[in-house]
Structure 1
Amino acid sequence: MSLTQFLTDPDLVLLNKLLPSDEFAIGEFPELTHAVNIQVNVFRCGGIALGICNTHRLHDGTSEGVFLKEWAAIAQGSGNSVTKRFTFTGPAIEALRARGKGPSAKNPTRVEAVTGLLWKCAMTALERKNNGLRRPSVFTHLVDIRKKMNPPLSGPLGNFLWLAAAHYKGNTKSHDGTEDVLPSLVGELREAISKVDGEFVSGLRRDKSLISSSLEKVLGVGLSEYGHRVDHFVCSSWCSFRLYDIDFGWGRPVWVSNIGLCKPMFLNLIFLVDTRSGDGIEAWVPTDEQEMALLQENPELHAFATVNPSPLTISSKLCGSRDNAFAIR
């Protein structure tokens, strides 16, 4: 049958054959199946029909629409994306930590302070891009839960991560009416990350159903309340991994880096890595060209970070005669 023949007189019962399984079409997914199941149907004429089934535990209609649009954008490679490297020195981070103090985070960590500023500056860039409209946003941190398990997990293999999602509704004002959001953002990040504690991880291990319900809550933050009008950022921190201690026999590396994250799938996925001195942080920020141009114009970001400085300049006082570098993907 050709696609044209099928569309001329659609057989609604036959539509179920285009799905991965009738079982998926009418009910919830059985335990331990994939969150999304996709079947590619190729007709004799070469026409294609995609049959997609997903669990309602993770996707409602709104989030499904977002998923499909993002998937299509990735497949097309649409949009012009660019990655910039923002480097924060140790003294700059200490000043930023002091500025980010608030009731919910009286002593912000280096990562909380840096991601709080990046979140704030990204929202400002998007506000300018959207003609003054500041949309609610979600900032998700990937959290390593190995040490939060009881007993702590020491094995090096496997993925033991959870998502800590902080959200901002855009309603924090200072006394003079201007926006003063950095302490609030840092506090939201602290609260979200602190919820992923030993008790939470133990609950996940005792009751497997909590995994799906917790993921639904994390992934649905903002979506169910605001629909498509929400900006989402994700951060993976490699800080404290002690990557600069790695020595293959010819000395410590001068520069440990990520790769150029220029694919659409990496948009708004921020990576943090320590500088060689150990007290600074490099933030690798991939976004589209227009947003990046606006981000780089932000004077507050420039007050704390330098854009793409030479690793040789950063490490000149620390390097010996044998200089090395390696990249991690």
Structure 2
Amino acid sequence: MVEIKSEIVSRQSIRPSHPTPSHLKTFKLPLLDQISPNIHGNMTFFYPSDNTSHSTSDHDFFDKSKLLQGSISKTLSLFYPLAGRLHDAATVDCNDEGAFFVEAKVNIQLSHFLNQPDLNLMDHFLPATDATTMELSNGAMFLVRFTSFGCGVVAISLSLTHKLFDVSSLLTLLQTWSSVCRGSSDPITPVLIGEKFLAPRDELSAISATIKIDAEKFVQRRFVFSASKIAELKAEVNKEFHDMLQSHPSRVEVVLALLWKCAVATKKQKTGTFGPTVMFQAVNLRKRLSPTLPETAVGNFIWTFMVSAYEERDLELHEAVIQMRKCLNEFNDTKANVLRGEGAAQAIMEAIKERGEFFRNNKEMTVYKCSSWCKFPLYDPDFGWGKPLWLVSVNKLVSNTIALADTRSGDGIEVIMTLDEEEMTLFQQNEQLLKYATPNPSSYA
């Protein structure tokens, strides 16, 4: 068990390098952002030493910190709503109050932490878990904590508002920010569509989606699926899948189906009976709309489709994977395009209403939610001292969530699973899971 002591060295606001023009001072969010929860998501990147600096480790850290702060200032001018403050669920006051930047130090070596990462220790790296930082940041939508391990090794943690950013938007921000930090004079420019995509609804102006904070104690655990184990999983379901759909299952589909099956089996162990269950999967709408949106469009251009299982046989691996693909195909063919153009706002409101009715009529259903960041090149951001050794996003809010991301090599899948504490104890012992997944291996592997 690694013990960490962390110390905050400084805290400060960072304003945009150029003031936001007066005609852009009010930014109206599109409907999909309006209904997004007013919470912060987080992601932490751990960087090795670049070994190019001959200065002391303190000087090296503060030199890097100055570079980061200067590049944040320039980046905020391009992402100008991010430097503002939320006025209501559909409006950002672009007042240039800026982002908030924290410098910190920890007393351990990165190698000790990454050898077997303890997700419970991530609070030492996150800006939003420090009460003083949150008070001083005065509603900042973008917070950064820059942490020194000594000897040039650092961590960069971002805390970003979910009102403006999904993972694709986060990637655009990282690509722009890191290229500005490296001195690029031609960084990627974000596309800030705002209400031009889909105007907010007046009757919802004061309402964001709510996140039901789980009362029970939940825990997070990390599992890694290697490329060879994913290939084994695919081989197990490929024949039935191909016979039914004339295509092949994806990495995400087979891994998610196994996790879902094992989570529900765990629930049955705990309660003694099988209960119906539903899996919500988030999908990126940008390429699914007509006309498409650019990948650099900033906002929550995501929607979820659901896959349900009413009997245990529905969760046999091949059945679950086939059902996932069928539901995705149906979403792509019939629902995605309804979310753009004439009637889109009405369709979204009806979908929200239908989902509410579904849950009222299916109170006994166990709900799981999955976000996949696979195929997003999140290991690419290089601020001038190389690419990250490891990245992670921890969920501090709700249980029964599954987050999937590529391993650094790009061919495996890393899972952060959140479950009720008692269920997680059983889940970690599931033999079918352990046949394919390695619990919390070294991040150097």
Common fold by TM > 0.5: yes
Could you tell me which of 117, 120, 141 is aligned with 2:281? 141
Alignment map for 1:227-306 (pairs within 5 Å): 227-259=362-394, 261=395, 263=396, 265-306=397-438
Distance change (3 Å), C-alpha of 1:35 and 1:309: farther
| Shift of residue 153, structure 1, vs aligned partner | 0.7
Residue 249 of structure 2: SS of its match in structure 1? Answer: coil
Paired AA for residue 145 in structure 1? L
Give the distance between the partners of 2:305 and 2:288, measured in 1 at CA.
14
| Shift of residue 276, structure 1, vs aligned partner | 0.6
Q: Name stretches of at least 5 consecutive residues in structure 2 with no aligned partner.
A: 1-199
CA contact (8 A) 1:88 1:304 kept: yes
Give the distance between the partners of 2:346 and 2:226, measured in 1 at CA.
43
CA contact (8 A) 1:121 1:295 kept: yes
CA contact (8 A) 1:270 1:285 kept: yes
| Shift of residue 270, structure 1, vs aligned partner | 1.1
Could you tell me which of 335, 338, 356 is aligned with 1:200? 335
Give the distance between the partners of 2:378 and 2:327, measured in 1 at CA.
26
Structure 2 partner of 1:317? none
Distance change (3 Å), C-alpha of 1:169 and 1:36: farther
Is 1:153 paired with 2:293? yes
Structure 1 partner of 2:107? none
Give the distance between the partners of 2:235 and 2:422, measured in 1 at CA.
31
Structure 2 partner of 1:92? 229
Give the distance between the partners of 1:230 and 1:190, measured in 2 at CA.
21
Alignment map for 1:150-189 (pairs within 5 Å): 150-154=290-294, 155-172=296-313, 181-189=316-324
Give the distance between the partners of 1:158 and 1:224, measured in 2 at CA.
29
CA contact (8 A) 1:141 1:193 kept: no
Give the distance between the partners of 2:205 and 2:328, measured in 1 at CA.
24
Give the distance between the partners of 2:260 and 2:292, measured in 1 at CA.
31
Paired AA for residue 140 in structure 1? F
Paired AA for residue 254 in structure 1? L
| Shift of residue 224, structure 1, vs aligned partner | 4.8
Q: Name stretches of at least 5 consecutive residues in structure 1 with no aligned partner.
A: 1-29, 39-53, 55-66, 174-179, 315-329
Identity of aligned residues (%): 33
Distance change (3 Å), C-alpha of 1:107 and 1:145: same
Give the distance between the partners of 2:416 and 2:288, measured in 1 at CA.
27
Structure 1 partner of 2:266? 125
Paired AA for residue 258 in structure 1? S
| Shift of residue 191, structure 1, vs aligned partner | 1.7
| Shift of residue 243, structure 1, vs aligned partner | 1.0
Give the distance between the partners of 2:313 and 2:216, measured in 1 at CA.
32
Residue 245 of structure 1: SS of its match in structure 2? Answer: coil
CA contact (8 A) 1:148 1:198 kept: no
Residue 216 of structure 1: SS of its match in structure 2? Answer: helix
Paired AA for residue 110 in structure 1? R
Report the aligned-residue RMSD.
2.6
Give the distance between the partners of 2:304 and 2:406, measured in 1 at CA.
21
Paired AA for residue 152 in structure 1? T
Give the distance between the partners of 1:295 and 1:152, measured in 2 at CA.
40
| Shift of residue 266, structure 1, vs aligned partner | 2.1
| Shift of residue 193, structure 1, vs aligned partner | 1.8
Structure 2 partner of 1:309? 441
Distance change (3 Å), C-alpha of 1:289 and 1:32: same
Give the distance between the partners of 1:134 and 1:31, measured in 2 at CA.
41
Could you tell me which of 75, 78, 82 is aligned with 2:215? 78
- How many residue pairs were aligned? 239
Give the distance between the partners of 1:189 and 1:198, measured in 2 at CA.
14
| Shift of residue 149, structure 1, vs aligned partner | 1.5
Paired AA for residue 310 in structure 2? K
Give the distance between the partners of 2:412 and 2:350, measured in 1 at CA.
37
Paired AA for residue 332 in structure 2? D
Greater shift after overlay, 288-297 or 104-113?
104-113
